[in-house]
Amino acid sequence: MNLSAFGVRLFLGCAASASLLALPTMAQNTTPSSILADSNVPQLVARQFKFTEGPAVDRAGNVFFTDQPNDKIWKYDTEGKLSVFLEKSGRSNGLYFDQQGNLLACADEQNQLWSIAPDGNVTILLKDVQGHRLNGPNDLWAHPGSGGIYFTDPYYQRDYWTRQAPDPNLGGQKLYYLPKGQAQAVVADDQLQKPNGIIGTPDGQLLYVADIGAKKTYRYQIAPDGQLTNRQLFVAQGSDGMTLDSEGNVYLTGEGVTVYSAAGQKIQHIDVPAKWTGNVCFGGKDRKTLFITASDAVFVLPMRVHGVQ
């Protein structure tokens, strides 16, 4: 399959909006007071990093996150202990656990996708697209049914790269889909300025993608073959990273954490004492701890709702 043949079917307008909103979703009756526990002030875990990103939670509730400039993946366990999981992480950025317990990583030192086994053994899933070097895989999500991986590929110049510009043969900064077991990714959406944060619903029906360049976040319907249909503007705000809770609320990052209901209504803003909030996920044994990566630090915040990823 060539890249242009896959594409993304975008059905905009009233019919598309009605179709998407009619899809089954998680509960949408959340109020601001029901998502937070006793406080809306994040608690500092540590401030010993250069730039934290990519938090992902395993089945036990341990959170793994990256310190990309220092080329490490860290683990924050359910007892609150920090430890280094992997040195020489390929300058990993976004992370996500697949159904087999492997840690998927956007390793942008060589612009690859990795699968990291629990023992730290690395398998390279993707090296390029049709022989062309990717811009820099940034964030990713694995479909719970098919195992296919959706990932964003914006261009952010890194000081550890020898190149100074993106490969013009890529034709821009795009959203890609890598079917499970395949060696080549296909374009899922090429109508984005700078795609960044990404998350999907646990039923595998919906995908949220932030276009941080356009300051917008979109929602798509996921077809059985992996194609994305019915692209719809979710909110007029971009995001670096994102997550979902059990009520279907969407958490966007950047200047703190902003929470929207599944209907796109802003219900909460969480101030984070950092220059930039990069990403967020739910961790802990009960998945009721919001784990926040923010510049040189990581924070936690007890919640009443729990995460679903």
The neighbouring-strand residues paired with 292 are 280, 299
Looking at residue 169, the DSSP 8-state letter turns out to be G
Closest by Cα among 303, 299, 293 to 66:
293
Which of 4-18, 91-105, 189-203 shows the lowest mean pLDDT across its residues?
A: 4-18
More confident residue, 309 or 59: 59
How far apart, in whole angstroms, are the C-alpha atoms of residue 255 and residue 199? 19
Task: Check pLDDT > 80 for residue 11.
Answer: no
Give the pLDDT band (50/70/90) at residue 167: confident
Average pLDDT across the chain, whole number: 90
Q: Give residue 164's pLDDT.
A: 82
Task: Check pLDDT > 50 for residue 24.
Answer: no
How far apart, in whole angstroms, are the C-alpha atoms of residue 230 and residue 270? 30
CA 56 vs. chain centroid, Å, equals 9
Closest by Cα among 222, 196, 200 to 211:
196
Q: Give residue 19's pLDDT.
A: 37
How far apart, in whole angstroms, are the C-alpha atoms of residue 296 and residue 308? 26
* Mean pLDDT for the stretch of residues 147-168: 91
pTM of the model: 0.90
For the chain, percent of residues with pLDDT exceeding 90: 83
Give the pLDDT band (50/70/90) at residue 166: confident
Task: Check pLDDT > 80 for residue 26.
Answer: no
For the chain, percent of residues with pLDDT exceeding 70: 89
Task: Check pLDDT > 60 for residue 31.
Answer: no
* Mean pLDDT for the stretch of residues 255-261: 97
Q: Give residue 5's pLDDT.
A: 41
Domains of the chain in start order, with CATH, are 3-302 (2.120.10.30)
